């Protein structure tokens, strides 16, 4: 049994590790660490002790939402000033240790989303704000609000230096598309394509300035352009109605987007795709995202009849950590709770540090949860990856989820009498055929146990 620790740790110069689970790395500087501490007290001494290495690539913060409620495992009744002071101190500490190519993800609901965004702009700079991601947290809405039934959370993302942050991609390849840059519905302006920015197939030549309009597109080339080796030697300056602004064009070219004008009259096209698809700011069930109900079912399987009150689904943390880090990166969670983040990070091969201020939560939830992960006794969450794929080609724009719901809809139609002109056997055959034809679910085991972690506090003398 781990040595009990006080629920009110205070900073000191010592670093004390009270136990180990599984087979953690022998050197704490390379080990996964579960730390008993207040969130705002943890990072500086860990950095001083050399336990953060080059710094975390990702920091995930799931602080109390300030609901005004007393939950079974924690008190969520902090006042607004107290909450803001705590979060400012936490974010300042995160900014100091975060890698230059790192990001912080702050999960809140709409009570504090506006204040959390203001704090991120204050500490990280408004120019380093990345996104306000909306997560569909519930299948069934709550009716606690007098006007609106809430089903979403905010996940606010900021970068240490946005210019050094990678794109957040899904891993799914995007087919090549040719996007016409002329857009007749927009107002007129002048767009300058720098020298060598446009591919112009054909022989070396000079394209004279002049009208390039057709009945559907009104545009002019404003200066002669020499073409050598299939590229414009001079800037290509055109007047017309454009899909992009000059700033957008410059940013896309800097990011590596290719521009092609294959024939006269000139119609520049952006060649996009052929890379990985980028996540949108909607994390919903339609995109394969799990909900709080899924997390609660997983928690009951792990903890029995008295699970942790507000767990997050492992699938949500998998998407965040897979998007914002790579295997081997250090990732940090300063509000560990039941340990969902550390469980996911253990399964996905990150080096993690999780911080929790309550010794009771550590003893009752976090350590048992992570022990089950290390010992291979946790089959929930992302331990087994289930892939839903269609058995037949889908219509354009359809997802496997659409196909599966079609099968469910056909079954409901049959129950409502839509196919009563068939015999019962024929009706059952139609329903069975549609359901079986819609999708197939395959399973792949992702995690079977292994590794370990150290438990303790850097603040106990």
Give me the number of domains the chain comprises: 3
The domain in which residue 80 lies consists of 16-171+278-381+448-457
What pLDDT does residue 2 have?
36
Question: CATH number of the domain that 329 lies in?
Answer: 3.40.50.150
The answer to whether position 11 is within a domain reads: no
Strand partners, 453: 21
- Cβ within 8 Å of residue 31, ≥6 positions away: 24, 25, 351, 452, 453, 454
* Shared-domain flag, residues 146 and 191: no
Statement to judge: residues 26 and 131 lie in one domain:
yes
Residue 315 lies in a domain: yes
Tell whether 108 and 97 lie within a shared domain. Answer: yes
**CA–CA separation, 443 and 76 (whole Å):** 38
Query: Are 370 and 429 within one domain?
Result: no
pTM: 0.71
Domain match, 377 and 390 both: no
Using a 10 angstrom Cβ sphere, with 0-12 exposed, 13-18 middle and 19 or more buried, the burial of residue 226 is middle
* Per-residue pLDDT, 300: 85
Indicate if 256 and 316 belong to the same structural domain.
Answer: no
Q: Evaluate whether residue 452 is within a structural domain.
A: yes
Looking at the structure, do residues 38 and 132 belong to the same domain, yes or no? yes
Cα–Cα distance for residue pair 338/304, rounded to 1 Å: 13
307-342, pLDDT tens digit by residue? 777 789 999 999 999 999 999 999 999 999 989 999
153 is a domain residue: yes
pLDDT of amino acid 145: 65
Q: Splitting the chain (461 residues) into consecutive groups of 10 residues, what average pLDDT does each group show?
A: 39 67 93 94 91 96 83 74 94 97 96 94 97 92 74 96 88 76 90 95 93 94 95 95 94 89 93 75 87 87 74 93 95 95 96 94 92 94 83 75 81 89 90 80 87 79 34
Residue 2 lies in a domain: no
Could you count the other beta carbons within 10 Å of the beta carbon of residue 298? Answer: 25
Within 10 angstroms of residue 79's Cβ, the number of other Cβ atoms is 10
CB 141: neighbour CB atoms within 10 A? 12
230 and 263 part of one domain: yes
CA-CA-CA-CA torsion sign (297, 298, 304, 310): negative
| Residue 8 lies inside a defined structural domain of this protein | no
Residue range 90-128, pLDDT digits in tens: 999 999 999 999 999 999 998 899 999 999 999 999 999
DSSP annotation string for 208-275: --EE--BTTB-EEE-S-EEEETTEESS-EEEEEEBSS-HHHHHHHHHTT-EEE--SSSP--EEEE-SS
**Same domain assignment for residues 282 and 421:** no
Tell me phi and psi for residue 340, to 5 degrees: -60, -45
Whether residue 6 is contained in a domain is answered as no
């Amino acid at each position: 049994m781990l040595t009990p620790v006080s629920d009110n740790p205070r900073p000191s110069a010592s670093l004390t590790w009270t136990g180990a689970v599984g087979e953690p790395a022998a050197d704490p500087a390379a080990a996964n660490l579960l730390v008993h501490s207040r969130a705002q007290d943890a990072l500086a001494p860990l950095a001083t002790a050399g336990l953060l290495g080059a710094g975390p690539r990702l920091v995930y913060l799931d602080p109390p939402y300030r609901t005004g409620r007393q939950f079974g495992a924690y008190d969520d009744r902090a006042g607004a000033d107290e909450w803001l002071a705590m979060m400012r101190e936490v974010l300042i500490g995160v900014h100091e240790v975060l890698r230059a190519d790192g990001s912080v993800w702050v999960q809140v609901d709409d009570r504090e989303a506006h204040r959390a965004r203001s704090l991120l702009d204050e500490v990280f700079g408004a120019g380093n704000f990345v996104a306000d991601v909306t997560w569909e947290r519930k299948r069934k809405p709550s009716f606690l609000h007098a006007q609106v039934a809430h089903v979403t959370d905010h996940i606010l993302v900021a970068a240490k230096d946005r210019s050094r942050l990678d794109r957040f991609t899904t891993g799914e390849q995007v087919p090549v598309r040719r996007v016409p840059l002329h857009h007749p519905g927009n107002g007129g302006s002048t767009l300058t394509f720098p020298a060598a920015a446009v591919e112009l197939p054909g022989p070396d030549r000079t394209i004279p300035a002049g009208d390039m309009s057709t009945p559907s597109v009104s545009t002019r080339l404003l200066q002669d352009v020499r073409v050598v080796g299939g590229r414009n030697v001079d800037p290509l300056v055109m007047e017309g109605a454009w899909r992009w602004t000059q700033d957008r064009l410059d940013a896309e070219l800097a990011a590596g987007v290719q521009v092609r004008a294959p024939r006269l009259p000139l119609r520049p096209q952006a060649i996009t795709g052929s890379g990985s698809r980028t996540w949108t700011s909607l994390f919903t069930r339609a995109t394969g995202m799990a909900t709080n109900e899924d997390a609660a079912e997983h928690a009951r399987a792990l903890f029995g009849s008295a699970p942790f009150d507000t767990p997050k689904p492992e699938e949500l943390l998998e998407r965040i950590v897979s998007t914002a880090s790579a295997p081997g990166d250090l990732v940090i969670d300063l509000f560990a709770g039941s340990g969902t983040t550390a469980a996911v990070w253990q399964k996905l091969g990150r080096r993690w540090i999780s911080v929790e201020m309550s010794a009771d939560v550590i003893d009752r939830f976090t350590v048992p949860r992570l022990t089950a992960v290390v010992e291979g006794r946790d089959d929930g969450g992302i331990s087994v990856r289930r892939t839903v794929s269609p058995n037949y080609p889908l219509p354009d724009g359809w997802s496997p989820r659409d196909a599966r719901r079609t099968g469910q809809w056909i079954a409901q139609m049959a129950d409502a009498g839509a196919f009563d002109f068939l015999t019962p056997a024929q009706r059952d055959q139609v329903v069975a055929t549609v359901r079986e034809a819609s999708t197939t679910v395959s399973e792949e085991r992702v995690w079977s146990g292994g590794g370990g972690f150290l438990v303790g506090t850097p603040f106990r003398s």
